[in-house]
Structure 1
Amino acid sequence: MDPFFDQIREAHVAIRPQVAVTPLAPSPVLSKLLGCDVSLKLDFLQPTGSFKIRGATNKVRTLDDDARRRGVLTASTGNHGMAVARAGALAGAPVTVYVGNDALQMKIDGIKALGAEVVVIDGPAGDAELAARRAGEKQGRTYISPYNDPAVMAGQGTIGIEIAEQDSDLDAVFIAVGAGGLMGGAGTALHALRPGIEVVGVWPQASLCMLRALEAGEIVPTQEYPTLSDGTLGAIEPGSITFPVCQKAIDTRIVVEEGEIAAAMKRIAETERWMIEGAAGVAFAGLVQQAERYRGRKVAVVLCGRNIALDLFLRTVS
């Protein structure tokens, strides 16, 4: 058995009850529309509104008492920051979150509401990561990467165990890909528990960092652009542990345009009455784009988050 899967399996037990087992909900309406048997993994129902709570909770639980007293730092576009803020609050660990100057205000407000200090960097998310790491080294505090940490990736992987346990007959699972923490963890768990399942990675055209790395066989500099899928933005650190894991985990690669993401978010709102964020829309857009290929098959889509400003959501689906 893959030793990394052993870490995911340990996390699957250890993060309860702070992290919920979210529903895998069949969608008769979408199944009829798309011609395949569709279920939705509703991970936006987590307490902080996204899957990120899984990895953050698992990482914080591994810290010793001294590390918790000194506190932790992280960098985030929003969801990971809220997750670390909550995990730290529950564990009694002070939290500081570094964000780029393009972070959504509603996510900054969410981080602060959970008790964390926020430091805004005059630059993008990648600069915030570097600043947080430097501060951690200077202050002797633990830096919690949004993805480049085995405990974080193992925590994200627990969603794969849940999906495998909730439906043993799935043919394929669609997951949005950012820096690879969710995809690497979930894909590893799904392949370990359901050999033969197809793990489908979906990217927004505006942010293809992991895809370009997979194509090149190494992590390469990749230009990113504004996207509805802000949760998948952010360059991959050189040497990131997520890269080799994603090389094994992803079976199929799909790229979607911004219009497809918006249409997917609108379709979910119309049919399921859920307001989801762009990263969740990416995964569903991938299924919509390739629905003919999966006709008659049983598929699941990971809806990974709901943290989107109301005005942006309304503009997106109008």
Structure 2
Amino acid sequence: MKSNAEVEKKFLKDPLPFIEEARGILNGVVRRTPTERSRTFSRILKGNVYLKMEVLQSTGSFKIRGAYNKIYHLPDSVRRRGVVASSTGNHAQGVAYAASLFDIPATIVMPRNTAIPKIEATRGYGAKVVLAGNNLTEAYEHAQKIVEKEGMTLIHPYDDPYIIAGQGTIGLEIMEDVPEGEHIVVPVGGGGLITGIAIAAKSVKEDVKVTGVQAKGACAFYISRKAGRLMETPSVHTIADGIAVKTPGRLTLELSSRYVDQVTTVDDEEISGAILMLMERAKLMVEGAGAASLAASLYGKIDVQGTTSIFLLSGGNIDPMVVARIIEKGLLKAGRILFIRCLLPDRPGELSDVLRMVSDLEGNVREISVSRLSPQAPLNQAVLELTVETKGCNHSQEVLHRLKNSGIKLL
């Protein structure tokens, strides 16, 4: 068995054979997800747009590729002792599922604030889940203690040749599906995914452009590339928890300088907008990390006009509560939810008159609140608050105009 240092040295010198080997190993284990042309996003972005659907992968994300490939390469005696990983979700499920396929024990350390659906999904693959720490860094430190105590093998989420190689098989699939592809856009956390894809894609077509997209609230890879060395962000704050890492990988940063063309960032509002648009236009449920790639083009961070571009939708494991908030915020931003606050005389019939006006304009009242004790309510008046579903910004303005013209004082 070669040492980790020997494997890394060989991988850095010539990574492509690792990816080609991984493809054979993963054949029949992972799904060869489709790369589909999107008429909607082709029209919006004025290009030839394809979506690589890793949202349809086993466990709901690409992570099974690298996890299985890494575990496969462990010596049998080491593998039987089991594996450990720290993750908020996708890597956890990938390692748990891969371990179940090898029939070995897996312990997954997750931060205490991890979404319940992700915890239950990981347990559902047969892994032991340990909740420790308030973030991924603290969870990773706890995972290392388990390794030292129990002799299990730590499966790193991105900074490992076999992990990178497993993720790189996506690049081979993309270039087979879209050989005319000119630009591949990939979400970036620690860098394992984009590095593997870039190596594979450029081995097929040297001039294909590969762009990474990070969440602005977790942009360690972005700032590290700019600095030319590993940099750590003091904290991470983003809805894209699948790419929320504080430090990129040593291997991934070195390889990205050779294979990745550029990296940009998007904020949570832009990611939310992309999630909502994918739900509405493509009927796809995509998590924050997975939607980051498309968000970059939708909000003008990268221009794909006139080109054949492939956007990787890396995963679909999103907390339903987050989805609900994104939908609400998206509807509000689109003017399809209107909040009305106004003063009403405190006498019978006034409320019904307001509701009738809204109804006549085909507004749908969702919530009503009336307060006579509000500091803004003079004696014999009340503050009325309405939440109304409308058809958009113009319709919302029409409702407000009607109320104002009827003599109602809007607050």
Counterparts of 1:295 and 1:26, CA distance in 2: 15
Distance 1:141 1:34, change over 3 A: same
Give the C-alpha shift of residue 317 in structure 1: 2.4
Q: 2:229 aligns with which of 194, 214, 218?
A: 218
Q: 1:282 aligns with which of 268, 276, 292?
A: 292
Give the C-alpha shift of residue 293 in structure 1: 2.8
Distance 1:292 1:189, change over 3 A: closer
Contact 1:36 1:291 (8 Å CA) reproduced: no
Counterparts of 2:165 and 2:34, CA distance in 1: 20
Q: 1:60 aligns with which of 71, 84, 105?
A: 71
Give the C-alpha shift of residue 60 in structure 1: 1.2
Counterparts of 1:290 and 1:192, CA distance in 2: 29
Unaligned 5+ residue runs, structure 1? Answer: none
Which amino acid letter does the alignment assign opposite residue 26 of structure 2?
Answer: I
Question: 1:20 aligned to 2:23?
Answer: no
1:198-231 per-position Cα deviation (integer Å, ceiling 9, x unaligned): 1011111100011111111111221333211100
Counterparts of 2:14 and 2:302, CA distance in 1: 37
Which amino acid letter does the alignment assign opposite residue 113 of structure 2?
Answer: D
Contact 1:73 1:98 (8 Å CA) reproduced: yes
Which stretch shows the higher mean deviation, 287-296 or 153-162? 287-296
1:162-220 per-position Cα deviation (integer Å, ceiling 9, x unaligned): 10111111110110110001011111111111110110111111000111111111112
Contact 1:174 1:300 (8 Å CA) reproduced: yes
Q: 1:204 aligns with which of 215, 219, 226?
A: 215
Counterpart in 2 of 1:93? Answer: 104
Q: 1:180 aligns with which of 153, 168, 191?
A: 191
Counterpart in 1 of 2:321? Answer: 311
Counterpart in 1 of 2:348? Answer: none
Distance 1:292 1:159, change over 3 A: closer
Question: 1:146 aligned to 2:157?
Answer: yes
Give the C-alpha shift of residue 291 in structure 1: 7.7
Which amino acid letter does the alignment assign opposite residue 274 of structure 1?
Answer: L
Give the C-alpha shift of residue 122 in structure 1: 2.4
Give the C-alpha shift of residue 33 in structure 1: 1.6
Counterpart in 2 of 1:229? Answer: 240
Q: Secondary structure at the match of 2:85?
A: strand
Counterpart in 1 of 2:84? Answer: 73
Counterparts of 1:188 and 1:276, CA distance in 2: 25
Report the aligned-residue RMSD.
1.5
Give the C-alpha shift of residue 49 in structure 1: 0.2
Give the C-alpha shift of residue 311 in structure 1: 2.3
Counterparts of 2:226 and 2:163, CA distance in 1: 25
Question: 1:9 aligned to 2:15?
Answer: no
Q: Percent identity?
A: 33
Which stretch shows the higher mean deviation, 120-129 or 220-229? 220-229
Counterpart in 2 of 1:115? Answer: 126
1:231-261 per-position Cα deviation (integer Å, ceiling 9, x unaligned): 0012226x62111012222212221111110
Contact 1:206 1:227 (8 Å CA) reproduced: yes
Q: 1:264 aligns with which of 274, 286, 297?
A: 274
Contact 2:78 2:153 (8 Å CA) reproduced: yes
Which amino acid letter does the alignment assign opposite residue 256 of structure 1?
Answer: V
Give the C-alpha shift of residue 102 in structure 1: 2.8
Counterpart in 2 of 1:47? Answer: 58
Counterparts of 1:194 and 1:290, CA distance in 2: 26
Counterparts of 2:36 and 2:79, CA distance in 1: 37
Question: 1:301 aligned to 2:311?
Answer: yes
Aligned length: 317
Counterparts of 2:294 and 2:302, CA distance in 1: 14
Give the C-alpha shift of residue 75 in structure 1: 0.8
Question: 1:246 aligned to 2:256?
Answer: yes
Q: Secondary structure at the match of 1:48?
A: helix
Give the C-alpha shift of residue 281 in structure 1: 1.2
Contact 1:41 1:301 (8 Å CA) reproduced: yes
Give the C-alpha shift of residue 296 in structure 1: 1.2
Which amino acid letter does the alignment assign opposite residue 275 of structure 1?
Answer: M
Larger Rg: 2
Which amino acid letter does the alignment assign opposite residue 271 of structure 1?
Answer: R
Which amino acid letter does the alignment assign opposite residue 138 of structure 1?
Answer: K
Unaligned 5+ residue runs, structure 2? Answer: 1-10, 329-411
Contact 1:100 1:124 (8 Å CA) reproduced: yes
